[in-house]
Chain A
Amino acid sequence: MSKRAPDVAVLTANRLHDGIVVFLSANGRWVESIEAAAVARSPDEVRCLEEQGARDSAANLVVEPYLAEVGEAGGRLIPRRTRERVRVEGPSILDDVPGYVPAGEAGVRPLVSNVRVPHNAGGEGSDPVSVEAA
């Protein structure tokens, strides 16, 4: 994968407390829908997203933020790579998973506390190509 900054991109990460896929929105909040993501269309906008991601990673809101290249079709944001499309859409096989209960309907206990921590300006973003060995 090229490390060059993509031309049109959104910033994505996993939420710290539950690992769910999130996108940085225009109002600076991390949201689950790519449709609400802030889209960077210039090097300056890309840099802004990356800086916000680094801050929120350092503030322990999200884990390993990185840029995902997207295209725009029919008013929708569509990631270029299959990997990112799967992250947006979720596992493609959930209808076939035996006993699958969607989030919110499962017997999962409600979270006791919200882990949102005040921003701080320091810290470095994670390397987007770092991976965990199997």
Chain B
Amino acid sequence: MYRYDEFDATFVRQRVAQFRDQVARRVSGELNEDEFKPLRLRNGVYLQLHAYMLRIAVPYGTLSSRQMRKLAHIARVYDRGYGHFTTRQNLQFNWPRLSDIPDILDELADVEMHAIQTSGNCIRNVTADHFAGATADEVADPRPYAEIIRQWSSLHPEFSFLPRKFKVAVIASEHDRAAMKLHDIGLHLKRLDGGGLGFAVWVGGGMGRTPLIAKLIRDDLPEEDLLTYLEAILRIYNLHGRRDNIYKARIKILVDALGIEAVAAQVEEEWLRIRDGALKLPEAEIRRIETYFAPPAFDERPPKAAVRAPVSHDGRAFDRWVARNTHAHKQPGYAIVTISLKPIGGIPGDASAEQMDAIADLAERYSFDEVRVTHEQNLVLPHVRLGDLREVYRALKAIGLAEANAGLVTDIIACPGLDYCALANARSIPIAQRISERLAARQDQIGDLKIKISGCINACGHHHVGHIGILGVEKRGEEHYQLLLGGSGAEDAALGAISGPGFGPDGIVDAVEKVVERYLELRAGPDEPFLAAYARLGDAPFKEALYAA
């Protein structure tokens, strides 16, 4: 893992001290809310429906056991015993007191964490494939590049007042596990024709009120040009992005309005001017950052225990869990384990302090001290020996987190919704809970199917790219839900289409069930997943199921 150098440590502590002073001035009345609000937002502090909310950055979704224990400690001492993992690989606490937040930030600094740039019109926390550095299908670990971008973008003076927030995601596999094409910039690390590493650069993706899939702006960017090219894109955006309308301010609107060719031409012109400047990455510096992400000291011996041997009463359940919640590791004898934070009927992404501590223990004992946060609101133990899987499973079962549902219909993304969020129009979490309960018994039969739920048009729950998406709206003061079909946030990125008239809180659960039942009825066989069936059949049979009398 990356370790703070002296510069990092000093600047994070300085920010904490500055915010401590700002909070004191706010509480004393020296600063009013209009003056304080931009300051607190720059430190990840929102004011939500019921309380303040603190959003903590988890850079590229990577945590150490020590950091996870600190989050558990903060949940216990300063909050109400739990935390919420988000669709941007961050963690949110829902109940901190303003006057405690400087102390929380100091505690975070003790473990090299912070909340800087988790809000505001700046370059946000960089996300990455949550299987990075472990998965068998990547060309290289993308996290060193995410770290380089983090260092470049942290308190970047030129990009601290962008027209709107700016999100970057990095992947290194053909399979996109980071919704890369739904970001302002998506980077796909790959092997270039010359043999070196470089990037396909995608720009102008995003969800929210105007969902758009990113466009390819350059397919062959050498790695040493990463920062110069990003700087050029950000400059063009900073110059031409709209500032008169918050809903038209993202780079996706600029790309859509000018066209990708026109934006690319301006970016290229700026890039050629700065390409060989101070931001050109020296080979030695890239390799130096890579050393922080070097593979752990894997055990080269073959595993002692056969993974699938049913040796106890939990054999069948264990086999299901291995089949659903493990992924091929690049190192023989190891697996990547997804810890589902979606127990049946549970709250997507929530974990108690006790669960966080237990997961930290598991990571320390079985996964070289590493945990990952996924944008699908699960956690990952990236490096588990096959022979240890059964012990990991039993330990997860003991804390209620051994549901074998990764990628299944109960593995639902849901934003905090109207239960917490000041922007929301409708509740997301209870809808997710009821769909989970309704479909749990059939989830293995249904197979891969991603449901994503947002409580408002800002789309934190990624409803546009759910195979089945749900958008909460307010209709005459009451909660109402639109249904979307056919979206995807993966390499086949696509935006779902609204099915037709919406539903009330009860009706939306029935509607999802009708869509699922029609899929089961019409699919070519168990090997035809929902999206493939939807592409083959079109929306007509599903609309018929939803709206026919």
Contacts and interface: CB of A to CB of B under 8 A. Distances in A.
Interface of A: 14, 16-21, 57-60, 63-64, 80-83, 86-87, 90-93, 96-103, 106-109, 111-112, 115, 117, 123, 126, 131-134
Contacts of B151: none
A16 B80 CA distance: 19
Point out which of B26, B75, B98, B164 has the most chain A C-beta atoms below 10 A from its C-beta: B98
Interface string B31-51: 011100100010000111111
B502 interface: no
A21 B460 contact: no
Contacts of B37: 132
B291 interface: no
A112 B80 CA distance: 19
B47 A14 contact: yes
Contacts of B420: 91
Nearest to B94: A91
B26 A16 contact: yes
Contacts of A131: 422-423
Contacts of A60: 26-29, 32
A48 to B, nearest CB: 22
A39 B477 CA distance: 20
B351 A98 contact: yes
Interface of B: 26-29, 32-34, 37, 41, 46-52, 75-82, 95, 97-100, 119, 164-165, 246, 345-347, 350-355, 400, 418-427, 429-430, 433, 458, 460, 474, 477-479
Given A17-B98, A82-B474, A106-B79, 7 more contacts: A19-B47, A63-B47, A96-B433, A98-B352, A100-B352, A101-B80, A109-B77
Contacts of B246: 133
B302 to A, nearest CB: 37
**Chain A residues touching B, majority SS:** loop
Contacts of A97: 82, 347, 350, 352
Nearest to A18: B97
A87 B50 contact: yes
Contacts of A107: 76-77, 81
Nearest to A112: B99
Given A81-B477, A102-B80, A19 B29 contact: no
Contact of A101 (B81, B165, B419): B81
A112 B419 CA distance: 29
14 contacts: A17-B98, A19-B47, A19-B98, A93-B419, A93-B430, A96-B433, A107-B76, A108-B78, A112-B99, A117-B29, A132-B47, A132-B422, A132-B423, A134-B458
A58 B425 CA distance: 29
